[in-house]
Structure formats: structure tokens, C-alpha cells
């Protein structure tokens, strides 16, 4: 089974679609960030259709690589992401979606997907042996 999103003509305006640098699967990583605090909430994947839906509906739509279908954050969980802004990074290969997150962002029920498994905190020098920049 492939993780590719469906291939179809882009629903995005050409001035956006032509700039996007998609993966071989036609996807872009989409980082969801709480608009007022800067808290990083989650990472999902968008193809042109998901980005189009996000831009036009005001709700985050993602492509599920495992289920091979679109999903709108909050439709089943009630934990909505209301879009405040959408930006491309400097390489046009990642989308930053600033949202007003209602409830948990993570499928585990946690506020974010990034608070349960912290590998390094407070930039401690040499915390991981062999890490570039450690013990210099």
C-alpha cells in the first residue's frame, strides 16, 4: 500500500501551486502552532487539495498517509483547529498553520504531540554523547 495522496489537478491558484516543493508522494509537512502562544501543537501532511480546503474553510484539513483519506481536525474528536494564518517557509516545502486549538491537538489526548518524549531540555551541553557541538 502506498502512502501517496491522490493525484489530480491542483485546486490551488497557480501562483501558489507552482511554488510548492512537494515530496515524492505529493505532500508537504504542515506544522500546526497555537497562534497566540507560539506553542507547537502537531505535524500533519497536506497535499494541494488539503491545503486548498484549509485555506478556503478556515479549518485544518490533512491527508492521512495511513488511512489514505482526508481528515478535518475536530470532525471526530471535537478538538478543532480554527485557522488564523497560513505561511510557507523560505523553501516553499513546509506549511506553518497558526491555529486556535480547541482541546487536545494530539491523538493521544495531550495538548501537543511534543511534550511526552523530551530528548533534550534547556540546551544542556554534551547531554547526548557524540552530538555535534557537544563538548567543544
CATH of the domain at 79: 3.10.20.810
Binding residue numbers? 89-91, 93, 106, 113
Binding positions for Zn(2+): 90, 106, 113
Q: Is 40 helix (H, G, I), strand (E, B) or coil?
A: strand
pLDDT at 97: 98
Q: 16 burial class (0-12, 13-18, 19+ CB within 10 angstroms)?
A: middle
Task: Tell me the three state secondary structure of residue 85.
Answer: strand
Residue 68 lies in a domain: yes
Q: Give residue-wise pLDDT tens across range 60-99.
A: 999 999 999 999 999 989 999 999 999 999 999 999 999 9
Q: Give the whole-number percent of the chain exceeding pLDDT 70.
A: 85
User: What's residue 118's pLDDT?
Assistant: 86
Known binding-site positions for Mg(2+) = 89, 91, 93
The domain tally of the chain equals 1
- pLDDT for position 131: 52
- Examine residue 120 and state whether it is found in any structural domain, yes or no: no
| Inside any domain, residue 135 | no
Query: Span 30-59, mean pLDDT?
Result: 97
**pLDDT value of position 1:** 37
Domain that holds residue 51: 14-101
Amino acid at each position: 500500500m502506498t502512502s501517496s495522496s491522490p493525484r489530480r489537478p491542483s485546486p490551488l491558484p497557480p501562483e501558489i501551486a507552482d511554488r510548492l516543493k512537494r515530496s515524492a508522494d505529493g505532500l508537504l509537512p504542515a506544522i500546526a502552532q497555537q497562534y497566540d502562544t507560539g506553542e507547537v501543537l502537531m505535524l500533519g501532511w497536506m497535499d494541494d487539495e488539503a491545503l486548498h480546503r484549509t485555506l478556503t474553510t478556515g479549518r485544518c484539513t490533512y491527508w492521512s498517509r495511513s488511512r489514505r483519506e482526508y481528515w478535518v481536525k475536530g470532525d471526530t474528536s471535537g478538538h478543532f483547529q480554527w485557522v488564523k494564518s497560513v505561511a510557507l517557509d523560505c523553501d516553499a516545502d513546509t506549511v506553518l498553520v497558526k491555529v486556535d486549538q480547541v482541546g487536545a491537538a494530539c491523538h493521544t489526548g495531550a495538548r501537543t504531540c511534543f511534550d511526552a518524549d523530551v530528548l533534550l531540555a534547556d540546551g544542556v551541553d554534551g547531554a547526548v554523547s557524540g552530538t555535534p557541538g557537544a563538548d567543544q
